[in-house]
């Protein structure tokens, strides 16, 4: 795979390659025994590979009583496994008070992750995660090549670093459209409406999977017919929402 960092186009002045020791992550997080085991068994290496700030991307910082956007870190994580990815991802975001773009690589597949954070009012050196936005695990097919074309850190615009990071969040979230529509919709505007549509479809798909399992286990024909009708209703709902997404 071509070096994913080349696709991101981190400004030369912002490039770095600073290895982050797992013990430093552990000291920051004070993890449980289980979390320590996850960190050590699933992470091969972590590097700080980019710093985006006023000096490197010429975008003004944003600081108020709730948010601090002075610099954005780009972190590269080489994975051994993603068995406990949700836990791992949340803990890594918690380890960095700064806003971060985490690029995970597992063999030939990638995951991008961002997290909106606010200042911890009790401990100023720490942050509180408001929400985490993550792509699917994806391989480099044509749709994802188009997705990465827009992920150029030197061309994404922002009024300030907070607005710039929110744009990164939107790009990360937009990848999820590929799994829903079969292609990357460049023209799609990722706003609150489209985000809500994507989340509804993902939820309904998980519900359909559960219903299929119930169908397999059902013994009465009447029960099977009822489950079948519920599946068809949800699949129609998904189809309508996906069609709506394509028109946004």
What confidence score (pLDDT) does residue 189 get? 58
Radius of gyration of the chain (CA): 20
Q: Is the dihedral of CA 204, 117, 149, 108 positive or negative?
A: negative
Phi, psi (5° rounding) for residue 116?
A: -80, 130
Confidence check: pLDDT of 165 > 80: yes
* pLDDT tens, residue by residue, 115-138: 999 988 777 677 899 989 999 999
What is the separation, in whole angstroms, between the first and last Cα of the chain?
32
Residue in the structure block whose two tokens are 């798909």: 205
Q: What is the pTM of this model?
A: 0.82
CA 123 vs CA 103, 118, 126, 127, 181: distances in Å: 27, 11, 6, 8, 43
DSSP characters over 80-132: S--TTHHHHHHHHHHH-SS-EEEEEEETTEEEEEEEEEEE-SS-TTSEEEEEE
Contact between 150 and 186 under an 8 Å Cβ cutoff? The reply is yes
* pLDDT tens, residue by residue, 186-220: 655 566 677 777 888 888 888 988 898 989 888 88
Stretch 69-89: mean pLDDT: 94
**Of all helices (H) and strands (E), which one includes residue 6?**
helix 4-8
Q: Minimal CA–CA distance to 127: which of 163, 166, 100?
A: 100
Q: Is the dihedral of CA 129, 135, 138, 142 positive or negative?
A: negative
Greatest distance between any 2 Cα atoms in the chain = 68
Assign 4 a pLDDT band (cuts: 50, 70, 90): confident
What confidence score (pLDDT) does residue 1 get? 46
- Strand order of the β-sheet with 127-134 is 15-19, 43-53, 71-79, 100-106, 109-119, 127-134
What confidence score (pLDDT) does residue 186 get? 62
Assign 102 a pLDDT band (cuts: 50, 70, 90): very high
Phi, psi (5° rounding) for residue 161?
A: -65, -30
Mean pLDDT for all residues in the chain? 87
DSSP letter at 12?
G
Percent of the chain topping pLDDT 70: 94
User: Under the phi-then-psi rule, with left for phi > 0, alpha for psi from -120 to 50, and beta for the rest, what region is 66?
Assistant: alpha
């Amino acid at each position: 795979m071509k070096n994913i960092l080349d696709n991101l186009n981190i400004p030369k002045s912002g490039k770095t390659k600073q290895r982050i020791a797992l013990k430093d992550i552990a000291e920051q997080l004070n993890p449980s025994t289980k979390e320590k085991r996850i960190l050590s068994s699933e992470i091969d290496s972590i590097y700080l590979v980019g710093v985006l700030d006023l000096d490197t991307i010429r975008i003004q910082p944003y600081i108020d009583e709730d948010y601090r956007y002075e610099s954005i870190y780009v972190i590269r994580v080489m994975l051994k496994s993603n068995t406990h990815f949700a836990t791992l991802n949340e803990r890594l975001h918690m380890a960095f008070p700064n806003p971060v773009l985490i690029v995970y690589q597992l063999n030939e597949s990638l995951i991008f992750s961002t997290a909106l954070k606010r200042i911890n009012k009790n401990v100023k050196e720490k942050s509180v995660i408001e929400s985490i936005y993550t792509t699917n695990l994806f391989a480099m097919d044509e749709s994802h090549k188009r997705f990465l074309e827009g992920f150029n850190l030197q061309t994404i615009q922002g009024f300030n670093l907070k607005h710039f990071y929110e744009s990164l969040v939107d790009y990360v979230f937009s990848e999820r459209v590929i799994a829903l529509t079969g292609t990357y919709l460049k023209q799609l505007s990722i706003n609150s409406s489209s985000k809500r549509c994507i989340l509804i479809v993902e939820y309904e798909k998980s519900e359909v999977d559960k219903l299929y399992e119930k169908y397999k286990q059902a013994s009465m024909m009447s029960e099977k017919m009822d489950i079948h009708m519920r599946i068809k209703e949800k699949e129609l709902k998904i189809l309508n929402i996906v069609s709506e997404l394509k028109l946004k």
